[in-house]
Amino acid sequence: MSLQSEHRCNGFYYEEMVTTTLFLKSELKSIGFNSESKFQRLQIVETEPFGKTLVIDDHTQSSALDEHVYHEALVHPVLLAHGNPKTVFIGGGGEGATAREILRWKSVEKLVMCDIDEIACKTCREQLPEWSEGVYEDPRFEIHYEDAFAFLQNWKGPKFDVIIMDICDPIEAGPGVVLYFQEFYQSIARDKMTEGGVFVTQSGACGFLNYHEVFTTIHSTCRSSFEHVHAYSVDVPSFGCPWGYNMCYNSCAWPDAPSWDPAEVDRRLAAALGEEAAAALHHYDGVSHRALFHVPKMVRKAMAKETRVMT
C-alpha cells in the first residue's frame, strides 16, 4: 500500500539505525549545527516529520515533535510517587527539558543538574531555547558541568527527594556508562536520597526488536539495587520505537502511584502544578499515566528472565 501525496521530497534524508536491520529515514530540511565537543558529536538538524532535532553521536536525543512525550514521562510519574518533592537532582539532562518539567512543580525548592558536557548544554540553550523554556533564569535551578558520578559521590549538600537520570544509553566506553552500574545505584544514588526518596532512569529502547539491547539489563540491575522497581514505556516516534524507564525506591509515600486511576492522577497533578499548568502538558495526564505502566507481555517476560547485571 502506498501513500499518495502532492508533497515532493527534496532528495535529502536523515537516516538513523534503530536496529542492525531496521532504519528510520526522514526527509532532511536543514542542518543547523554540526560540531564536536570533548565528549561527543553534536548536530541539530530539521526534518520534515519531526522538526528541529538534537542528534548526539548519530542518535536522536529529542525532537520538536515529541520531546515532551519523553521528558514528561521521565519526570512526572516519579514526582507523583514521591508526592512532595523539594530537592531534585538531574544527572545529564543537557537539553534543559527535564529541568523544565521539574520546575513546573510548585513544591520544588532546589533543582541541581550535573552534565559533563558544557558545550552541549550551552548549544542546546542557544539553539533549542524552547526545550529549556526559562530554566536558566529560575533561581531554584543550579547547574554543574562535571562528571555526574563523581559529583554525586562527593555531594555534601542536603539529600535529594528525587534523583532523575537523563543520560545517554550505556554504550561501552561512553562517558555515562558507570551511571547504569550496580555500584552507582547501591552505593551512591541510594545514599544521596532522603528517606522515601524515589529514583528514575531512562532505560533505552524497549520495542519488540530491541528491548534486549539494554532495557532488560538496566531493569535487572535496578532490581538488584532497590526493593521496588516499576518498568514503564512510551512510544517516541522520532526514536523509531517505544522507550523505556525504570522507577525505583525502597519506600516512598505513594507506592501505588503506577496503578492510580486517571481521575486520581489528574487530581494530584493539578494540585502539584496548578490546573492551568497541568492542562498545558502536551502528553502526560491520567490516561497517559495508566498506559505507561502497561508494558507488553513479551517485554515483561524478558524482564522476568533477565539475569544480567551491569557492574
Q: Strand 87-92 and strand 59-63: pairing?
A: unpaired
For position 47, what pLDDT does the model report?
A: 98
For position 11, what pLDDT does the model report?
A: 80
Q: Is the model's pTM score more than 0.75?
A: yes
Q: How far apart are CA 292 and CA 73, in angstroms?
A: 8
> If we measure between CA atoms, which residue out of 205, 226, 190 comes closest to residue 89?
190
Q: How far apart are CA 148 and CA 175, in angstroms?
A: 10
**β-strand partners of 31:** 45
Q: Which residues are catalytic?
A: 166
End-to-end C-alpha distance for the chain, whole angstroms? 47
Q: What is the mean pLDDT of residues 162-185?
A: 88
For position 279, what pLDDT does the model report?
A: 97
Q: How far apart are CA 230 and CA 249, in angstroms?
A: 9
- pLDDT higher than 60, residue 172: no
Q: What percent of the chain clears pLDDT 70, i.e. is strictly above it?
A: 95
> If we measure between CA atoms, which residue out of 200, 114, 99, 102 comes closest to residue 152?
114
What are the pLDDT digits (tens) for 4-53?
566 666 689 999 999 999 999 999 999 999 999 999 999 999 999 999 99
Beta strands in 133-282 (DSSP E): 141-144, 160-166, 193-205, 228-236, 241-249
For position 102, what pLDDT does the model report?
A: 98
Structure-block grid coordinates of residue 217: 539489563
The burial of 29, by beta-carbon neighbours within 10 Å (0-12 exposed, 13-18 middle, 19 or more buried), is given as middle
For position 112, what pLDDT does the model report?
A: 98
For position 213, what pLDDT does the model report?
A: 95
